[in-house]
Amino acid sequence: MTELFTYDSQEVIAFTLKLGLAILAGLFIGLEREYKGKNAGLKTNTLVAVGACAYVLVSLRFYGEEYADITRVLSQVVTGMGFLGAGVIMQKKQEDKIKGLTTAATLWCSGGAGCLAATSMFVELGILTILVVIINIVFGYIDDKIEGKK
């Protein structure tokens, strides 16, 4: 019975590091959304990143097990992100205009960030996080300028 409650300290540290990096990525990505007053801001992007990370970490525990396909959880995270994004988009439908596409895409990227953290792709996680933030800021500015001219 004590085997159930024994932990390898290195595994716990790795788990904590991965979740922590997923949290940071979600916070950085969500910060821009929060600043712009979007519904899915800091908390939502952070929870999406940490949730995706946790699910992928659970699936990785079954690596090498017979009849276990660890990639199934990853594919379901992608599917789940699409479902969550659709809810964001549908909630924002106003005056025959679809709103929320960027927020939905950003949530999808936050899920990707969590998956990268879980698989120890830390450099890629940093690159993704920076690019998502830059894309949202720069293209948001460009989009505002274009919309102002219409």
Structure tokens that stand for 65 in this block: 């097990």
Residue 57 covered by a domain: yes
Query: What is the per-residue pLDDT for 95?
Result: 62
Structural domain of 127: 12-63+70-145
Tally of structural domains, the chain: 1
Structure tokens that stand for 141 in this block: 């500015």
Query: What is the per-residue pLDDT for 90?
Result: 67
Query: What is the per-residue pLDDT for 2?
Result: 56
Residue 116's contacts (CB-CB under 8 Å, 6 or more residues apart) are 25, 122, 124, 125, 128
Residue 6 covered by a domain: no
**What single DSSP character describes residue 39?**
S
Residue 4 covered by a domain: no
pTM: 0.85
Query: What is the per-residue pLDDT for 120?
Result: 97
One-letter amino acid of 104: A
Residue 85 covered by a domain: yes
- Give me the residues paired with residue 94 across strands: 97
Task: Return averaged pLDDT per consecutive 10 residues of the chain, 150 residues in all.
Answer: 71 95 97 88 94 93 80 82 78 65 92 96 98 95 81
